Structure 1
């Protein structure tokens, strides 16, 4: 039977998000791709160090058990095919079962997300992330310098999401940006019983929820999710009611009302945190792997 992506959580990831290729990338940026290719080929037998998203990918692949292939991770990279050799060699060296990849040698890779039916695209390239989001796929720009804490909880995947412009649309955020906090609170209080429109990361949250439900207690890793939002009461109610309407349970919710998110993420210790605002991402990156969701009104001029 031919392999199919049906009923699988599909993660597409760039080489620099999975492995630490920052030194090689500096060669690429200051020279041309020939020097970069030569450097990667010279180092083909030298496994690359783990990148920001490596621990998350490793844990997600633990959902695959004998006879049950629930997660597929695919390399989707602007790298050239020759450099792709080192990517696969590096994965093999640490027993990371990644078998599929698309390498475009500088061309925009996002168009292959349709064929992959990806639930998440992680890349360091902001243009690729923006293009993927515009095409309707959950995507985030990885902060290569993010702190890595995933090793602290080897048997649990912890993923934290911002609300507005990430899990939810930026409808309410637009009200806040135009008219201020009081107008935002009134807008949300009056619409507390009406679910928010979905944001770009609803499909990922749904896929994670489905993955956990299908896997049950059969896998050695559990999934824990958190909503980490600048909302506060009374605007909290609409967020919770929206998740209830989607029939999705989350484990923790933090309504911070403008408090620094980094301090709370330090305690939650996520494998990954997704937010649409750079100031929150910069704070979060000091304590956890972080991805910038370049969507919504906060990123119109980004």
Structure 2
């Protein structure tokens, strides 16, 4: 029987999102790929340190056990195949079960998301993320300056999502941009019983929901909606999730308050937001990624 990923949650991730390759990347960005390749080859037996998305990936892989392989993580990288050897060795040294990878030697790798059937793409390359989002895949640019995840919840994958233009479409955000807060609140109150259209990360949230129901392996998923919405606009967001038959464990309707301090208390392994101001502030507290979708990023 041919191998398939159809029954798994599939995460595609770049090497810089998973490991701390910032020193090596500085050499790559200098325009000397041969020097970069030589550095990686010389460090072949030096395990790279964990990167910003490491905690998220390690915990998701913990859903796999001897009875079922529920999660597949695939390295999808602009690296060359030689550098790919170090990535796999770093995975082994850090006890990550990484078996598949695509290395494109400087070319954009996003086109391989389709045959992988990826539910999420994480990369430090903004162009790759935009192309992935345009192709319909949940994707975020990992802020490599983010703080690393804490270790207080080893048996929980904790993920926080913004609402508009992330879980939901940017329909309401467009009203806010054109008409201001009062117009936004009235629009959402009038449409409280009309579900919001899906945003780019709804498929990933749904995949997490399926993973949680797949079986008891000692790991749990805890999700949070962290949004600038406030009452009365909160109701449409909640009713939309109910319509999707997807629940979140926590919801924070912050009415424009900075999200970072609240996220610090939630302690997610990763946070996704479409607005650079929110995500840059959050990165000072938790691992964060920018979702370049919606009207604020057009």
Matches within 5 A, 1:57-76: 57-76=57-76
CA–CA separation in structure 2 for the residues paired with 1:3 and 1:27: 37
Is the contact made by 2:17 and 2:142 (CA closer than 8 Å) also made in structure 1? yes
CA–CA separation in structure 1 for the residues paired with 2:135 and 2:30: 31
> Residue in 2 aligned with 1:134?
134
Matched, 1:236 2:218: no
Q: 3-state SS of the aligned residue for 1:273?
A: strand
| Deviation of the 1:67 alpha carbon | 2.7
Q: 3-state SS of the aligned residue for 2:221?
A: strand
| Deviation of the 1:104 alpha carbon | 0.3
> Residue in 2 aligned with 1:202?
202
TM-score, reference length from structure 2: 0.99
CA–CA separation in structure 2 for the residues paired with 1:287 and 1:212: 26
Is the contact made by 2:76 and 2:102 (CA closer than 8 Å) also made in structure 1? yes
Q: 3-state SS of the aligned residue for 1:144?
A: coil
Q: 3-state SS of the aligned residue for 2:3?
A: coil
CA–CA separation in structure 2 for the residues paired with 1:228 and 1:20: 27
Q: 3-state SS of the aligned residue for 2:45?
A: coil
Is the contact made by 1:56 and 1:150 (CA closer than 8 Å) also made in structure 2? no
> Residue in 2 aligned with 1:16?
16
CA–CA separation in structure 2 for the residues paired with 1:56 and 1:150: 11
> Residue in 1 aligned with 2:222?
224
TM-score, reference length from structure 1: 0.98
Matches within 5 A, 1:246-261: 246-261=244-259
> Residue in 1 aligned with 2:172?
172
Matches within 5 A, 1:29-178: 29-178=29-178
| Deviation of the 1:280 alpha carbon | 0.5
| Deviation of the 1:2 alpha carbon | 2.4
| Deviation of the 1:124 alpha carbon | 0.2
CA–CA separation in structure 2 for the residues paired with 1:55 and 1:26: 24
| Deviation of the 1:6 alpha carbon | 1.2
Is the contact made by 1:165 and 1:296 (CA closer than 8 Å) also made in structure 2? yes
Is the contact made by 2:11 and 2:120 (CA closer than 8 Å) also made in structure 1? yes
> Residue in 2 aligned with 1:281?
279
| Deviation of the 1:220 alpha carbon | 2.1
| Deviation of the 1:214 alpha carbon | 1.0
| Deviation of the 1:149 alpha carbon | 2.3
> How big is the alpha-carbon RMSD for the aligned residues of Structure 1 and Structure 2?
0.7
CA–CA separation in structure 2 for the residues paired with 1:224 and 1:95: 23
CA–CA separation in structure 2 for the residues paired with 1:94 and 1:200: 31
CA–CA separation in structure 2 for the residues paired with 1:262 and 1:225: 16
Q: 3-state SS of the aligned residue for 1:122?
A: strand
Q: 3-state SS of the aligned residue for 2:75?
A: strand
Is the contact made by 1:121 and 1:138 (CA closer than 8 Å) also made in structure 2? yes
Q: 3-state SS of the aligned residue for 1:180?
A: helix
> Residue in 2 aligned with 1:292?
290
Is the contact made by 2:52 and 2:149 (CA closer than 8 Å) also made in structure 1? no
CA–CA separation in structure 2 for the residues paired with 1:36 and 1:115: 29
CA–CA separation in structure 2 for the residues paired with 1:39 and 1:231: 47
Is the contact made by 2:212 and 2:221 (CA closer than 8 Å) also made in structure 1? yes
Matched, 1:184 2:184: yes
Structure 1: give runs of 5+ residues left out of the alignment. none
CA–CA separation in structure 1 for the residues paired with 2:138 and 2:281: 22
CA–CA separation in structure 2 for the residues paired with 1:27 and 1:254: 41
